[in-house]
Amino acid sequence: MEVAISLFCFLAAVVPLIHTETTNCHIPAFVATEATAVLTGDNSLDIFGTILFTETNGLGAVTLTGTISNLTKGEHGFHIHAGGNIRDGCDGAGDHYNPDGYTHSGLNDAQRHAGDLGNIFANGKGIATVDIQDIAFTLNGEYSVVGRTLVVHQDPDDYGRGGESDSAKSGHSGKRIACGVIGISAEKRADA
């Protein structure tokens, strides 16, 4: 039935000569409720992982959960980068996602890049478990991160406080060792 109604709405909008009356067609909007980033190692590094982004109310807090494997033990900078073109490697992801123009900072700082997620910690087996909740970005609307890139860095993030030449821009986190584009994995009708 919905297909027939949608077809009618389409025809009524596209072929006005056939239907000359005003038609009030409701075309449902969809909102992302989940997104996924499948991470792979840059330059043939054997790093892999999957991070699930979940947003429960459409424009609220986003929870990131998942694991990343084959990392060196210790802390690694973890960021959302603005670009989504990584066909030639993680460097194609561009700078940190920063729609408000702030300097780099920590996850819990009031003014920071929206993509600043702090550090993840890899245990002795090289596995990092991710469980982060953030309100600086969404899966929908103006601050959506869908189509952007999640990146794991070689070194710890200094939260912009390290005094290095790149601290205020990238947290002096070192090279990008794994990345994955954030894509929609579940959605629902906005009016449901």
Residues annotated as catalytic (active site), given as ranges: 79, 81, 96, 104, 113, 116, 153, 176
Q: What are phi and psi of 166, to 5 degrees?
A: -105, 10
With vertex at residue 146, the alpha carbon angle to CA 142 and CA 151, rounded to the nearest 5 degrees, is 120
Other C-beta atoms lying within 10 Å of the C-beta of residue 109: 17
Integer-rounded Cα radius of gyration of the chain: 20
Other C-beta atoms lying within 10 Å of the C-beta of residue 118: 20
Residue of 130, 110, 134 whose CA lies nearest to 62:
134
